Amino acid sequence: MADNGIPARRSAAFVLQRILEDGKLMSELTADGVFERLDPPDRARAQRLAQEVLRNMDRADALILRHVPKAPPLPIRNLLRLGAVELAGGAAAHGVVNDLVSLASRDKHHNRAKGLVNAVLRKLAEDAPKDWAGLPVPRMPRWLRQPLVHAWGRAAVAGCEAAHHAGAPLDLTAKTDPAAVAEMTGGTVLPTGSVRVHNAGQVTALAGYDSGDWWVQDAAAALPAKLVRGEKVLDLCAAPGGKTLQLAAAGCAVTAVDISPVRMERVGQNLDRTGLTARMKTADAFTYNGQWDSVLLDAPCSATGTMRRHPDLPFAKDGSDFATLIEMQGKMIDHALTLVKPGGQLVFCTCSLLPDEGEVQVEEALSRHANLSLDADAMDQPWVEDAWRSDAGGLRLRPDFWAERGGMDGFYIAALRKGA
């Protein structure tokens, strides 16, 4: 690691700027190589710092605004936010203040603010550690919070916000033996069979990674594949491939289809690492044809259910593209049904908290297709909790569920049966 924290702090500030000003997602920035020049420890530190600021934006701003008459320009505000979060977490004030003042002085547009940064951070060094815990849990942005309150109520949304703020532990899906994976990784087997590891550290250093005994997959994301009934299965929109791996491990003859060559390459790497086999096709889902016993469609969506792991999402998005996504999901369901054999099954899911991307999609699909019905038998599983059952007939998962265990991603899942 570098002798000082400047490389990681500079990269974290840059990432925050691109997310908050340009609406970029962290995953996009990572794919573009924003962290490539950093040593691995600094890379991990920069990502962690940026994520912690995004999780604690409201808290950081509340402390900063105590000491400035108005909000500073965004680049300076981001440096102060980094400082507030680090100081609240117990970082050495000397290093934080010196590095962030140095970064402010290097900003040719805002270097006059270095004195402000110095003064505010020195005050935060006194305030942040003692005041941080008393600040409220940050809220989702209004554009997202309002429809979710309408759908699930204020208490549920507050629970989701608490889960988002806490972040997500690491969940693993075992290729064969969850108990063995739990023992080798120091994890716990969840009621659904996933293995949950707290404070996991570097994923690739965990026991069983190189030997392909498991793969990373949120516990909620692992549930749709458990509802699949059939030997010949199509995993539509398959990348990054967790469900493909599950289906292959279960003995299915699975075909994985995704439009992205880069993401399909990752599916192939995971198959190689785990020693599992699937047929891979890089193709547009709408142009793919054939007949399968079961089709698993994890449709592109708002991803609002994944904010525990992706705190950048509510800042990079504003909901303006959701109508297009919702329309596409309906069309994808209709096309997916043409790929299901008569009497076969469609498992539809989205990692969204919005009913329009889940319950409403299934209700409308049932109204459009007279030969389509809910596959109640597939969803009648011993691991399904009553609280997950939706009035629409599927499973509604939310981050506030399993709060004592660390929560889960938001998902909607429904198994549907096509008439013979």
- For the domain that residue 91 is a member of, what is the CATH number? 1.10.940.10
Both 282 and 387 in one domain: the answer is: yes
The yes-or-no answer on residue 301 being catalytic is: no
> Is residue 394 domain-resident?
yes
40/30 Cα distance (integer angstroms) = 13
Q: What is the pLDDT confidence band of residue 202, given thresholds at 50, 70 and 90? A: confident
* Percent of the chain scoring above 90 in pLDDT: 94
Contact between residue 8 and residue 91 where contact means Cβ atoms under 8 Å apart: no
Reported as a single tens digit per residue, the pLDDT across 85-94 is 999 999 999 9
Task: Report how far residue 400's alpha carbon sits from residue 23's, in angstroms, rounded to the nearest whole number.
Answer: 27
**Edge to edge, what strands does the sheet with 195-197 contain?**
188-189, 195-197, 170-174, 214-216
Residues 130 and 222 in one domain: no
Is the model's pLDDT at 3 over the cut of 70?
Answer: no
State the average pLDDT for the chain.
95
The domain boundary, picked from 116, 134, 152, lies at 134
pLDDT value at position 4?
74
Same domain for 347 and 232, yes or no, is yes
| Residues 259-299: tens digit of each pLDDT | 999 999 999 999 999 999 999 999 999 999 999 999 999 99
Flag whether 143 is in a domain.
Answer: no
Q: Hey, CA dihedral for 354, 359, 362, 365, is it positive or negative? A: negative
Same domain, 119 and 244: no
Task: Mark whether 223 and 128 lie in a shared domain.
Answer: no
Nearest to 24 by CA among 46, 54, 58, 52: 54
Q: What is the mean pLDDT of residues 184-199?
A: 97
| Shared domain check, 409 and 264 | yes
* Residue pLDDT, tens place only, 316-328: 988 898 999 999 9
Q: Would you say residue 265 lies in a domain?
A: yes
Residue 309: closest CA among 26, 97, 112: 26
pLDDT single digits (tens) 386-417: 999 998 899 999 999 999 999 999 999 999 99
Instruction: Out of 160, 252, 301, 351, pick the active-site residue.
Output: 351
Which of 134, 159, 177 terminates a domain? The answer is 134
For 59-87, what is each residue's pLDDT tens digit? Answer: 999 999 999 989 999 999 999 999 999 99
Establish if 360 belongs to a structural domain: yes
Q: Are strands 232-236 and 253-258 parallel, antiparallel or unpaired?
A: parallel
Q: Which amino acid is at 30?
A: T
pLDDT digits (tens, 9 = 90+) for 297-352: 999 999 999 999 999 999 998 889 899 999 999 999 999 999 999 999 999 999 99
Per-residue model confidence as pLDDT tens digits over 124-177: 999 999 999 999 999 999 999 999 999 999 999 999 999 999 999 999 999 999
Q: Residue 55: give the domain boundaries.
A: 6-134
Q: Are residues 121 and 226 in the same domain?
A: no
C-alpha–C-alpha distance, residues 406 and 169, integer Å = 7
Q: CA–CA separation, 322 vs 331, rounded Å?
A: 14
Report yes or no on 88 lying in a domain.
yes
> Is 172 a domain residue?
no
379: domain CATH number is 3.40.50.150
Q: In terms of domains, do 130 and 224 share one?
A: no
Domain boundary pick from 101, 134, 167: 134
**Residue 255 and residue 382 in one domain:** yes
Residue 6 sits at φ, ψ, to 5 deg, of -60, -45
User: Would 194 be classed as within a structural domain?
Assistant: no
The domain total for the chain is 2
Look at residue 420 in the predicted model and tell me its pLDDT: 87
Consecutive H or E run containing 235: strand 232-236
238 pLDDT higher than 80:
yes
pLDDT grade, residue 31 (50/70/90)?
Answer: confident
Q: Is residue 42 assigned to a domain?
A: yes
The answer, yes or no, to whether residue 1 has pLDDT greater than 50, is: no
How large is the average pLDDT for residues 102-120?
Answer: 94
Region 206-223: what's the mean pLDDT?
97
Place of tokens 């981001």: 78
